[in-house]
């Protein structure tokens, strides 16, 4: 289940569980990456390191992403 509330400033989506939220975030990420790679040879991405990201990162396995054109960085709050 997902609830969407939009006003003029903010698009809020509420998911029934973390797994579906992570899957939705991964799908959105994959679409944004694909759009960027249509106009750029490669892109840079920084990923947050926290347990709150586990479902998102796991869901990325199911997306068709050209990882060979992505420079990925790992951000940790202890940097």
Q: Does an H or E element contain 72, and which?
A: strand 70-75
Q: What gap in Å lies between CA 50 and CA 40, rounded to an integer?
A: 29
Does any domain span residue 69? Answer: yes
Q: Over the chain, what is the mean pLDDT?
A: 89
Does position 76 have pLDDT exceeding 90, yes or no? no
CB 36 within 8 A of CB 43: yes
CA 14 from centroid of its chain's CA atoms:
16
What is the predicted pLDDT for the residue at 4? Answer: 63
Of the two residues 21 and 9, the one the predictor is more confident about is 21
CB 55 within 8 A of CB 21: yes
Does any domain span residue 2? Answer: no
Domain count, the chain: 1
Domain that holds residue 41: 17-75
The whole-model pTM stands at: 0.82
Does any domain span residue 48? Answer: yes
């Amino acid at each position: 289940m997902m609830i969407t509330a939009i006003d003029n400033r903010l698009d809020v989506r509420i998911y029934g569980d973390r797994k579906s939220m992570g899957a939705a975030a991964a799908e959105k990420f994959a679409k944004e990456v694909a759009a960027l790679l249509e106009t750029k040879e490669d892109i840079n991405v920084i990923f947050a390191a926290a347990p709150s990201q586990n479902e998102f990162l796991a869901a990325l396995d199911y997306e068709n992403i050209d990882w060979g054109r992505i420079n990925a960085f790992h951000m940790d709050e202890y940097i």
